[in-house]
């Protein structure tokens, strides 16, 4: 037999191994769950591969767990797809997952937080080094005819590889427990853990303790195929933790068995917490797809829209062809109709949660509201259904409480105008005290206060809700009524004088009765992008013509009266000062801030 070859772990793998060994993870027992789940995947893969490759033959697929008390070893063995030498190097020596570096960067050093991150990241096989001195993997591929390989490592810098004459396909993983973790060799502990982590595995799991006979420990019926009545909450929750690598229980569980024209089952979960990589484009998303109980693929993203990408779960179809590929799924009419039904079920459950438990709903909203806000643009045909789930801050609330929906607004709306007013700003305070909403507040008209980066884009793409026009208070159509009452010769002249000074920066000057406490405000045209949209477009590299707002003045305001009495340089300086003042109220900054401050000093002294 050839001498073992030694190879170095990839740098990122080394880092992860060190984290594992130095026990970032408080919940060490999950190593067994990870190994059982890898074994189950390997069996699924073999069964799937055999559908296309008739040369692949196999006996009953199963997982075996051997507890060798004498040598303090736990062995997890499967007769699944196995790995060739190069696959072992590829899969176990390196971490191919996208987002590994961003995951490593996110670690904080705080044990509890980090262990949750690791859970979400799903370090899988490496978790065995939390409890082991030494790990050996003996594997033979069922697909190619190369010989078996024995992989060994103590979790340090390197691992060794050697050929073996083992002839059966599958993988055997030997965990040699370290001194601190010998407790795992205890028979009742092991049985308890296997039971806990294997109930939802769709293959027989047999346990052998020492020389005793093998014993089957799980009952092997897929949880999503069981009737709702026969599944307990604990089982649902445990299955969720298994597929999601999340420590928390799910927020909502959605289980359906559909019969009739199309037959399928779905078991979907809405998590409590957003995963750390939800904004990463490359993060795998989607459901586990089974067809007639055969595992087909992870991350089948065709069954839910992107704006519901936080939903985890399984879909098992009886009607799709077993040899589907991602390309076929893309255009398959059955997939399309399942997607429509699943989307509706998720939206309905969220609607129900919103109605029955507003405080839980608001926690959900904190985690996933921003993702949901992508919905109307992605699926214009169901925009009202999605928008029904939105909640916002509002002028009817004392403080920044996010709990008003469009329907709440409509229900308490006193006017027949069929308008929903909203104000967009950088912060809650900027919105709540914005000059744009002064007159509406005075008239007791509700205004929704929006501060998410995507809000202007969202409201523009929604345009209306159940026949109510969505109106941005910073735009002209709200406030185009001129203040004719007070518009005398004097005022007309004042307007002309201001326009002469500010002509380059503004479209024109108008007077307004809508301002109450503020002297001036900037109003943009209905068809122009607002400040937020402008920022988004500019950061995406678009160059936009400079916006020329309308400069509205409040003739009743002291500052405007003062302006009226000024002349020459004093007048033009004060005009420019008031213009900057309005820019600041919009969350912008004056072109020359120090000049603005010097002016301010002068007026204060
Ligand atoms: P994950 O399971 O999340 O992909 P792991 O680190 O647990 O991450 O495993 C890495 C890869 O090693 C798996 O994706 C799989 O290809 C391979 N692997 C692990 N265990 C087995 C096994 N028992 N049989 C075959 N392949 C395996």
pLDDT tens per residue, range 395-447: 999 899 999 999 999 999 988 889 999 999 989 999 999 999 998 999 999 99
**76 touches ligand 1 (CB under 6 Å):** no
Which residues is 470 bridged to in the sheet?
420
**305 touches ligand 1 (CB under 6 Å):** no
Q: How far apart are CA 68 and CA 439, in angstroms?
A: 79
Ligand 1 pocket: which of 91, 97, 123, 159 to mutate (most atoms within 8 A of CB): 91
What residues have CB less than 8 Å from 564, skipping those under 6 apart? Answer: 490, 494
What does 57-95 look like in DSSP terms, one character per residue?
------EEEEEETTTTEEEEEE-SS---HHHHHHHHSS-
What does 539-583 look like in DSSP terms, one character per residue?
HTT---PPP--EEEE-TTSHHHHHHHT--HHHHHHHHHHHHHHHH
What residues have CB less than 8 Å from 353, skipping those under 6 apart? Answer: 251, 252, 360, 361, 364
Burial class (CB in 10 A: 0-12, 13-18, 19+), 297: middle
CB 404 within 8 A of CB 386: no
pLDDT tens per residue, range 489-508: 888 899 999 999 999 999 99
Q: Measure 109 CA to ligand 1 centroid, in angstroms.
A: 27
Helix/strand/coil for 207: strand
pLDDT at 274 over 80: yes
- Say which CATH architecture domain 231-356 belongs to: 2-Layer Sandwich (3.30)
**170 touches ligand 1 (CB under 6 Å):** no
Q: What are residue 487's phi and psi, to 5 degrees?
A: -85, 85
Averaged pLDDT of the chain: 89
Q: Measure 35 CA to ligand 1 centroid, in angstroms.
A: 8
Atom of ligand 1 nearest to the CA of 82: 25
CB 268 within 8 A of CB 274: no
Q: Where are the domains of the chain?
A: 5-216, 231-356, 391-472, 478-604
CB 528 within 8 A of CB 537: no
% residues pLDDT > 90 (the chain): 57
Amino acid 101: pLDDT = 67
For residue 21, what is the enclosing H or E element?
helix 11-21
Domain 391-472 falls in which CATH fold? Rossmann fold (3.40.50)
**122 touches ligand 1 (CB under 6 Å):** yes
Going by C-alpha positions, the residue among 182, 137, 143 that lies closest to residue 57 is 143
Helix axes 568-585, 593-604, angle to 10 degrees: 110
CATH class (in words) of the domain with range 5-216: alpha beta
Amino acid 479: pLDDT = 45
Atom of ligand 1 nearest to the CA of 80: 24
Amino acid 537: pLDDT = 82
Q: Measure 36 CA to ligand 1 centroid, in angstroms.
A: 10
Q: How far apart are CA 569 and CA 534, in angstroms?
A: 33
* Length in residues, the chain: 605
CB 369 within 8 A of CB 392: no
Ligand 1 pocket: which of 90, 100, 125 to mutate (most atoms within 8 A of CB): 125
Amino acid 478: pLDDT = 46
Amino acid 233: pLDDT = 96
Q: How far apart are CA 36 and CA 47, in angstroms?
A: 17
CB atoms near residue 397 (< 10 Å): 16
What residues have CB less than 8 Å from 553, skipping those under 6 apart? Answer: 494, 495, 498, 509, 510, 511, 512, 515, 519, 520, 560, 578
CB atoms near residue 158 (< 10 Å): 14
- What is the side-by-side order of every strand in the sheet holding 520-523? 508-511, 550-553, 520-523
CATH class (in words) of the domain with range 478-604: mainly alpha
pLDDT tens per residue, range 128-156: 998 999 999 999 999 988 999 999 999 88
Lowest mean pLDDT among 197-206, 332-341, 411-420: 197-206
Instruction: Report which listed range, 27-41, 345-359, 472-486, 491-505, is most confident.
Output: 345-359
């Amino acid at each position: 037999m050839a001498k073992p070859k030694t190879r170095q772990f990839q740098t990122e793998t080394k880092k992860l191994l060190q984290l594992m060994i130095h026990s970032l993870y408080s919940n060490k027992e999950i190593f067994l769950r990870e190994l059982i789940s890898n074994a189950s995947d390997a069996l699924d893969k073999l069964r799937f591969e055999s559908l296309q490759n008739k040369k692949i033959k196999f006996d009953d697929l199963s997982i075996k767990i051997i507890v060798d008390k004498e040598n303090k070893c736990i062995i997890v063995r499967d007769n699944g797809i196995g790995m060739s030498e190069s696959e072992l190097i590829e899969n176990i020596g390196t971490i191919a997952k996208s987002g590994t570096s961003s995951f490593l960067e996110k670690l904080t050093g705080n044990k509890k937080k980090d262990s949750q991150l690791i859970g979400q990241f799903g370090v899988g096989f490496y978790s065995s080094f939390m409890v082991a001195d030494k790990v050996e993997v003996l594997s033979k591929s069922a697909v190619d005819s190369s010989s078996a390989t024995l992989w060994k490592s103590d979790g340090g810098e390197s691992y060794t590889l050697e050929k073996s004459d083992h002839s059966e396909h599958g993988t055997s993983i030997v965990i040699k427990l370290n001194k601190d973790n010998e407790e795992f060799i205890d028979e009742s502990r092991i049985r308890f853990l296997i039971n806990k982590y294997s109930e939802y595995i769709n293959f027989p799991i047999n346990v052998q303790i020492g020389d005793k006979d093998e014993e089957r420990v799980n009952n092997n019926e897929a949880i999503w195929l069981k009737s709702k009545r026969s599944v307990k909450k604990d089982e649902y929750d445990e299955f969720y933790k298994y597929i999601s690598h999340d420590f928390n229980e799910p927020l909502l569980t959605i289980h359906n068995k559909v019969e009739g024209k199309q037959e399928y089952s779905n078991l979907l979960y809405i998590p409590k917490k957003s995963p750390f990589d939800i904004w990463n484009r490359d993060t795998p998303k989607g459901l586990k797809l089974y067809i007639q109980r055969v595992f087909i693929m992870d991350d089948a993203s065709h069954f839910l829209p992107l704006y519901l990408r936080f939903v985890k779960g399984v879909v098992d179809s009886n009607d799709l062809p077993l040899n589907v590929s991602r390309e076929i799924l893309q255009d398959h009419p059955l997939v399309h109709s399942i997607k429509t039904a699943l989307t509706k079920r998720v939206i309905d459950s969220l609607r129900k949660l919103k109605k029955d438990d507003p405080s839980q709903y608001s926690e959900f909203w904190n985690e996933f509201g921003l993702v949901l806000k992508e919905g109307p643009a992605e699926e214009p045909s169901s925009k009202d259904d999605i928008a029904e789930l939105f909640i916002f801050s509002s002028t009817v609330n004392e403080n920044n409480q996010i709990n008003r929906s469009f329907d709440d607004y409509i229900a308490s709306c006193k006017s027949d105008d069929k308008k929903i007013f909203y104000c967009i700003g950088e912060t809650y305070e900027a919105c709540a005290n914005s000059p744009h909403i002064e007159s509406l507040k005075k008239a007791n008209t509700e205004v929704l206060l929006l501060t998410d980066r995507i809000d202007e884009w969202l409201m523009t793409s929604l345009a209306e809700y159940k026949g109510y026009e969505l109106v941005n208070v910073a735009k002209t159509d709200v406030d185009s009524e001129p203040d004719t009452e007070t518009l005398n010769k004097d005022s007309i002249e004042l307007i002309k004088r201001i326009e002469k000074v500010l002509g380059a920066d503004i479209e024109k000057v108008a007077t307004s009765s809508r301002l109450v406490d503020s002297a001036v405000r900037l109003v943009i045209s209905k068809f122009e992008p607002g400040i937020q949209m402008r920022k988004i477009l500019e950061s995406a590299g678009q160059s936009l013509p400079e916006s020329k707002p309308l400069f509205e003045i409040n003739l009743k305001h002291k500052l405007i009266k003062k302006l009226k009495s000024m002349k020459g340089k004093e007048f033009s300086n004060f005009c420019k000062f008031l213009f900057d003042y309005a820019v600041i109220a919009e969350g912008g900054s004056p072109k020359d801030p120090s000049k603005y401050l010097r002016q301010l000093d002068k007026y204060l002294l």
